Structure 1
Amino acid sequence: MAGTERAKLKARQGVRTVAFGEMDVVEADTGKSVARDGVTMGEIVLRGGSVMLGYLKDQEGTKKSMRDNGWFYTGDVGVMHPDGYLEVKDRSKDVIICGGENLSSVEVEAVLYAHPAINEAAVVARPDAFWGETPCAFVSFKEGAAEKPTEKEIREFCKARLPLYMVPRTVVFQPELPKTSTGKVQKFQLRNMAKDLGKVYV
């Protein structure tokens, strides 16, 4: 098996452990399981003895996340594969809805990270006058990169590897992406920056 295919398989989740109960991917509104086709996205839910009882002193938050006979709605978006393995795609708040299509920011970021000059990449939604939202990529370059690609070159790189609706409509270059003290990219800041760019009208 090729290294790329092996990496894709290892990126999945779903091996049961002693302390773990059940998991599923469901339609958020109905609680119905999604198709096991590796494509249909839904919300990841968990149930079992090791899952929390609720949020401390937050009954409203607990009510929203713990429902349907003890299922914990994680807020993560994923797919179920025919072999029973789950694959996490994104956080539900990070999913970009472009012309009615749900696209995973994580999948676009994975392609951007494959570019030899890119050091950091994060993709968020930018308001669009026609499509509702389009992907907006924030990237930083590797130190000492021989060639720094233009926005057009990065878009062409993505076009060769992604469906057209997933290709970032906007690419913003940053010296460094905003991060927490533990190194996690602060996407809420990037979302605000994307909104400040205004709607895309072309």
Structure 2
Amino acid sequence: MKVGVVTFPGSLDDVDARRAVGLGGHEAVALWHGDHDLRGVDAVVLPGGFSYGDYLRCGAISRFAPVMTEVVEAAGRGMPVLGICNGFQVLCESHLLPGALIRNDHQRFVCRDQRLRVENTRTPWTGAYAEGAEITVVLKNGEGGFVADDATLDRLEGQGQVVARYLEVNPNGSMRDIAGVANERGNVVGLMPHPEHSVEALTGSGTDGLGFFTSLVESVWA
């Protein structure tokens, strides 16, 4: 598959995401925030970083980038979209995912190897995992606390839209230990930890994150 990785001004992990896409067996296509088309890709990754300097709110400016008009339209047609860290924030600001990400409850940036439990394996990004799989991936964020009202949280849990939860320690105060969520259709996933940093045994925390990229298989979505 051809997987587009968007670079915004201030993106830090776009190169890492493209490498992870390649290691997952796909062709990585570099997309620029000012692009007005998606260049024929089959899926899109919004990487981590500090898009537009995180001015206003994280992801608040990125949602208005020309490429996001195309991403929102394609996601509505079923294209798989993965937002990692800042990309998760962009997806929430774009209303492709519910809830919001706010400053960590301890008011500090956190960088650590983080244990997760994969709770939803029915998305294009998680099918390589067994339900309930416990994995370790890199986490690094300053505004990673997932919040939503109780009705939204109940709906996410009741409909199986919680993709992953933090284990052992909640690093940022996310409600109900939520580390990642999906939309109702399941094609759009936001994840605060960084699976693209956990795809090679030589570096990072191992290879537990690779499944987010090998999960992606050819599918008809248009």
| TM-score normalized by the length of structure 1 | 0.25
Computing the radius of gyration from Cα coordinates, the structure with the larger value is 1
Of Structure 1 and Structure 2, the greater strand share is in 1
Higher RCO (CA < 8 A, seq sep 6+): 2
| TM-score normalized by the length of structure 2 | 0.23
